[in-house]
Amino acid sequence: MADPLFGTVDVGLSYVPLLFVVLVATVWEERGTTLAIVCLATIVGWYTLQGGGPFNVLESSPGEALLEVQGYIGVAAVLGLLMGALNKDREKALQASAGWKVRFEAALYSSGHLMYEFDPVTRNIAWGGNVKRMLGLEATELASFDALLARVHPDDQSRLSHYSTVEETADETPGTRELHVRLRCGEGDYRPVVLTGAPIIDFDGQIYRVDGLLRIDDLALNPRG
C-alpha cells in the first residue's frame, strides 16, 4: 500500500510497524509481542514470496529478499524481547509496591491507626488507612490542614497549629511529638485523638514533610480511677 499512498516503496517505511511492536510489548507483554511478531513475519514473508513488498526489488533474487526479511523480523523480535524484559521489571516493581500497600493498609486497619503526611508548602494532607471507618469522614474532607483545623475543638486549634509549624534545623535531631486534640467526627461529636509524628528534614535544613499516625485516645475515652 506504500506505492499508492506515498508514491514509493522505500525500505524505510517498512520500519514503521516496529513502533506498534513496541506498543504491544508494553501493553500485552510477552504473549502479545509473540503474536504481533508472528503476524508481522507472516505478512512480510507472504508479500515477499509473491514478489511484492519493499524488500523484493527487480535486481535481487528471491533468496536475497528473504534474507533481508529474516533480518527485518530478527530486529523486530530483538526489539520486542528488549521491551518485554523492561516491562517485566516494571511489572515486578508494581507488584511489589502493591504488596507493600496491602500489608501497610492491613497493619493500619488491625492496629486502629491512620497514617498522615502533611506538606508544609501546599498544606495538603495525604491519609492512609480507612478514614471513613475510624472517623466517619471521607479522606477528601480532611485533605488540607485548614479542613482538619476546622474540625478540631477551638480550645485545641492553637496547639495543632504549633504542631504543624515546628521549626527544625539540620543540626537538631527531629524528635517524635505527640499531640492530644478533640476532633469533630462524621456524627458531629468531638472525639479525643492522638497525633504522633515527626518532621522530615530536607537537605537544606527545612521541613520536607511531617509524617505520623492518628489514633483514637482510648485513655481519654475510658479514664482510670
CB 8 within 8 A of CB 2: yes
What's the confidence (pLDDT) of residue 225? 46
Query: pLDDT tens, 139-176?
Result: 999 999 999 999 999 999 888 887 766 544 444 555 67
Spatial distance between the Cα atoms of 5 and 162, rounded to a whole number of angstroms: 70
Query: pLDDT tens, 116-125?
Result: 999 888 889 9
What's the confidence (pLDDT) of residue 222? 59
Model pTM greater than 0.85? Answer: no
**C-alpha cell recorded at residue 60:** 535481487
- Lowest mean pLDDT segment, chosen from 56-70, 89-103, 173-187: 56-70
What integer is the mean pLDDT of 34-40?
80
The rounded mean pLDDT for the chain is 77
Structural domains in the chain, sorted by start: 2-103 (no CATH), 113-221 (3.30.450.20)
Per-residue pLDDT at 78 exceeds 70:
yes
CB 119 within 8 A of CB 199: no
Most confident of 10-19, 96-105, 117-126: 117-126
